[in-house]
Structure 1
Amino acid sequence: MRWKSSIGTVLAAVLVAAVVAAPGAASAAPAGGGGGYGGWVPAPQEDFETPAGARCDFAVRVQPVVDEVRKLVLAVYPDGSPRRELYTGALINEVTNLETGATSTADASGTSLVEYATDGSMTWYVTGPVLLGFRENAGSLPRGLWIVDGQFMVEFTPTFDKTITMLHGTTHNVCTDVS
């Protein structure tokens, strides 16, 4: 229970940070003081396709139709690589079954605080919906393209296996919408 309480505190902080550090606000400063990292910048999502059986039983394409996602670098490692970033903004994806042409939209407009580890793993602290793809036996949800909505944490291994710890929320496999 204490773990879930900590997640809730962090997620609440993410939401407050996203509202306070809105576009046009001063950029975040490094922990040691000094100048900012450049403020909010666009973080566009690329279109992608997966073959049949990779995420859905059929080949699928995901492409953003609204993409206003931006990121703010909050901390960096000594080599300049990101250590902590905040992502927020509208993201609506069109999901297409490439075999039948059936389409559906998926709102993935959540806010995420992303912490990157030096071993290639990362942790997302999320409020709101995000779209996550799961391979067979590679995480805490079955194979699919999932809209996960609510307050939750996603831990990624260096090979992108994902474990979701849900504080509260819902999951929905978008593959079922276009099957």
Structure 2
Amino acid sequence: MRWRRIVGTALATALLTVAVPTTAFATTGDRGAGPGAWEPAPQEPFEQPAGARCDFAVRVQPVVDEVRKLVISEYPDGSPRRELYTGALINDVTNLETGATTKVDASGTALVEYGTDGSMTWYVTGPVLFGFRENGGTLPLGIWVIDGVYVVAFSPTLEKTVTMVHGTTHDVCTDLD
């Protein structure tokens, strides 16, 4: 029950933040963008060799990328403590050995909290694309679309622990065999 209260509070905070005009969070002075300035957060295309995420080499290429982020709070050194990500993101995922391609909707909304030790926790609603290496977390090797309401905790070594409140998981590698 405590878990659901925490996720509910985080998601409510994220959704309320999206609903409030950005001028309500505007900063003053010479701090630069800082908290309150929505900015583009483009995903760079990337490739993984065979065996890293799928049994074959794969490329992930955004074809629609309207993701933006809002820095909600920072640590004293100016690094982000909490950020909100939202916007349309559609990726082509391609098997580089066969040319088979599938489109994947990864347009979820995430409140991301960064730990000072390199850890992160994502509180998510909607679909997001996550890669899992062998023994890299709670899902097996693959490129996974996780959809619903869930939390993904990243350890400092980037192992991922997915905790579903409600939703589904699907390994995109299986669509490209």
Would you call these one fold, judging by a TM-score over 0.5?
A: yes
Q: Using the alignment, how far apart are the partners of 1:159 and 1:36 within structure 2? A: 27
Aligned residues: percent identity? 70
Superposition map of 1:5-20 within 5 A: 5-20=5-20
**1:170 and 2:168 matched:** yes
Cα 1:11/1:37, change in 2 over 3 Å? closer
Structure 1, unpaired ranges of 5+? none
- 8 A Cα contact 1:67 1:91, kept in partner: yes
Superposition map of 1:59-138 within 5 A: 59-138=57-136
| Cα offsets for 1:126-150 (capped at 9, x unmatched) | 0111000000111010110000001
Q: For 1:26, which of 23, 28, 32 is the aligned residue?
A: 23
Deviation at 1:178, TM superposition (A): 1.1
Cα 1:174/1:79, change in 2 over 3 Å? same
Residue equivalent to 1:4: 4
Deviation at 1:38, TM superposition (A): 5.2
User: Structure 1 stretches (4+) deviating beyond 4 angstroms?
Assistant: none
Look up the SS of the partner of 2:3 in the other structure: helix
Count of residues paired in the alignment: 173
TM-score, normalised relative to structure 1: 0.91
TM-score, normalised relative to structure 2: 0.92
Look up the SS of the partner of 1:93 in the other structure: strand
Q: Using the alignment, how far apart are the partners of 2:24 and 2:137 within structure 1? A: 35
Residue equivalent to 1:156: 154
